[in-house]
Chains A and B, each alone.
Chain A
Amino acid sequence: MIAIVDYGLGNLFSVKHALNAVGAQAEVTSSCDDVMKADAVVLPGVGAFGDAMDSLKKMGLTGALKDFVSTGRPVIGICLGMQLLMSESFEFGRHEGLGFISGKVVRFEDPKDGDDILKVPEVGWNRIKVLEGRGEKVYEGVKDGSYMYFVHSYYVVPEDAAVAMTVSRYGNMEFCSSVRNGNIIAFQFHPERSGKDGLAIYRNLMTIIYEKTKGKQG
């Protein structure tokens, strides 16, 4: 079972429907027990970083997530869920994140396209560039330059640039659009709302998750 962490925000049901569509059993849950029993955890989310961290703490989920990560099972962050995995964010002041990946979360500062100032948040479809030697498994069958669906004003800057699987451009700004650090995989975009290419990513994630747990179950 894959646990989709419900901390009160986010498009949890789209994630569930996408996981179901690729044959996964998934449950939306806010129970620490369910999280600890899961084969993998998805941390989704939209909204503000500070509020989200507060909710996770209040519900006792930060501890559960830390324990879960240390088991080596996959944790998948989506959108705000990706940002929460970082050490700190500067959305409305400084906030501490879960710290599974070293780095920070910063805001788009006046992205420009020629003379036009682009809107923040970025809402809509944008291309990903899959970096060489990284993310091959996650992006198997997904063409370089594919469009994914983004909704964000902030993006992550990992300390170790080598964890980035893809980068994207918003006007004159290049940003990291997905990361992988061992069992931690995260996307700034929404694969569950990125059409057939997004579903292909979920299918690849299933392969990664169940390759990892096979040994343990057996």
Chain B
Amino acid sequence: MKTVRIIPRLDIKGPNLVKGIHFEGLRVLGKPEDFARYYYETGADELIYVDAVASLYERNSLLEIIERTSREIFIPLTVGGGLRTIDDIRTVLRAGADKVSINTAAIKRPELIRDASHSFGSSTIVVSIEAIKKPDGSYEAYTEYGRESSGVDAVEWAKRAVDLGAGELVVTSIDREGTGKGFDIGLTRMIAESVPVPVIAGGGAGDAADILSVIKEGKADAVSIASVLHYNYFRKLSYGKKEFSDEGNTEFLKRGSDRSGIEGLTIGGIKDYLASNAAGCRI
């Protein structure tokens, strides 16, 4: 039985953990390090950090957070968002990331995948594919945190990215992202069956059954999860109102009550459910 990985995804804006729906309307939920530590302690298999605004503003505010996280959390850490050059990648790896994920820059300049996998090893280079379903049923890859259409077919791009040296793919459905309506099984399966490397499915986890079906039917090798984990832990946290930076939309946090409507999950709960349904995971 293959052992699937449960990977919390933390989107970061400035010093804060944020979460949106379809990558929009980002709410501040707290400090990324607090969530990262909690996920590490409760059985996360890896973590993904995404700088939610780097692609837009050409800045890289993640380095300090990466370094602090990498010093206290001993599971693999993938970092993405706004990485454009070999030097950007090197900087993030030197701060303590184990892998990097690239999207926008790779679509604009596919040779970046080849150069980066040659410089740092394929297993360090994760290509992130963020896709929207078209009316004809095919999928188009988007760049700039889901804002810009690229005209590139997501499945063809997946194959090409792997040919160029991508060691893993993160495949996120923008249609499902943040909605809790379940993964896009078709998208995940099409790509997972087209490439020899592991596929991490993202976007849409609402309950443990969604996660099971993207593993069983979608053939995902790993699952990236955000809202259902974040909102669950958010309820356990009690931030003082002055403890976090005011950068971003903090209204939700200040209100102190959770009206997200999203039922939370814990990593332990997800893994127990998977194990009892014959899906292998590290417990």
Chain A contacts to B: CB under 8 angstroms: 8-11, 13-14, 17-18, 20-21, 45-48, 51, 80, 113, 116, 118-121, 123-126, 147, 149, 151-152, 171, 190, 192-196, 198-199
Contact = CB atoms under 8 A, between A and B. Distances in A.
Interface in B87-144: 93-96, 98, 118-124
**Is chain A's interface secondary structure helix, strand, loop, or mixed overall?**
mixed
B242 interface: no
Given A193-B74, A195-B75, A9 B95 contact: no
Contacts of B5: 124-125
A116 B2 contact: yes
Given A17-B70, A21-B71, A121 B123 contact: yes
B184 interface: no
A190 B98 CA distance: 11
A11 B74 contact: no
A121 B122 CA distance: 10
B115 to A, nearest CB: 13
A18 B74 contact: yes
**Category for how many chain B residues contact A:** 20 to 34
Contacts of A45: 121
B98 A124 contact: no
Interface in B1-35: 1-5
Interface of B: 1-5, 40, 45, 70-72, 74-76, 93-96, 98, 118-124, 167-168, 196-198, 221-222, 282
Given A18-B74, A123-B197, A194-B75, 15 more contacts: A8-B119, A9-B119, A13-B93, A17-B71, A21-B74, A46-B120, A48-B121, A119-B196, A119-B198, A121-B122, A124-B5, A125-B3, A195-B40, A195-B74, A196-B74
A120 B221 CA distance: 12
A125 B168 contact: no
Contacts of A10: 121
